[in-house]
Structure 1
Amino acid sequence: MPVISFKKNRAPVIVEKGANLMDALLKGGLPVASSCSGDGVCAKCRIQIVSGAENLSPENETEKFLRETKKVAPDSRISCQVEVLGDITVDATYW
């Protein structure tokens, strides 16, 4: 089962393979910014991927659109649109 680790000193979260990143973080007790409740509209749930980007699902069309229109950094992903397929390390400015 994949492990989500954190750049800052937090306990890792173990998830099912294919788990939605935003849902997994919320279930792990971490706040995730969002004004659209994960509908892929606001891009506020962007999460910096410190390592393991290859262990996430490829960008879908919604995420590509949000990346372009909301100016999402290349090392970040829209967490409501991403599936966790393997171990990753993440960070967010508000943690």
Structure 2
Amino acid sequence: MPVISFKKNMPAVEVPADTVLMMALLDAGLPVASSCDGDGVCAKCKIIIVEGKENLSAENDTENFLREKNGLSSDVRISCQTRIQGNITVDATYW
């Protein structure tokens, strides 16, 4: 099973493959910013991918639109639109 590690000193979390990143973080008890409850509208659930970008699902049309609209860098993913397929290390400005 994939492991989510954190840039900050927090315990790693093991999750089933193909889990939505936002749900994995919420299930682990971590706050994830969102005003649309994961509907892919607000982009507040953006997460910085420190390592393992290649272990995530490809960006879908919704995520591409939100990236362009909000001017997000390529190391940021919209967590409600991203599925975990392997080990990653993440960070967020609000943790």
Q: Give yes or no for the alignment of 1:70 onto 2:63.
A: no
CA apart distance, 1:30: 0.5
1:69 is paired with a residue whose SS is helix
Residue equivalent to 1:32 = 32
User: How far did 1:72 drift?
Assistant: 1.4
| TM-score normalised per structure 1 | 0.99
Unaligned regions of 5+ residues in structure 1, if any? none
Give 3-state SS (helix, strand or coil) of 1:89's partner.
strand
Using the size of structure 2 for normalisation, the TM-score is 0.99
RMSD, aligned α-carbons: 0.4
Q: Deviations over 1:35-78 (max 9, x none)?
A: 00000000000000000000000000000000000111211000
Residue 42 of structure 2 is matched in structure 1 by 42
For residues 23 and 65 of structure 1, the distance between their equivalents in structure 2, rounded to whole angstroms, comes to 21
Q: Distance in 2 between matches of 1:72 and 1:44?
A: 11
Question: Aligned pairs, how many?
Answer: 95
Q: Which runs of 5+ in 2 are unaligned?
A: none
3-state SS, counterpart of residue 26 of structure 2: helix
* 1:7-26 equivalences in 2 (<5 Å): 7-26=7-26
Shift of 1:81: 0.1
Q: Deviation above 2 Å: which 4+ runs of structure 1?
A: none
CA–CA separation in structure 2 for the residues paired with 1:39 and 1:94: 20
Deviation of 1:15 (Å): 0.3
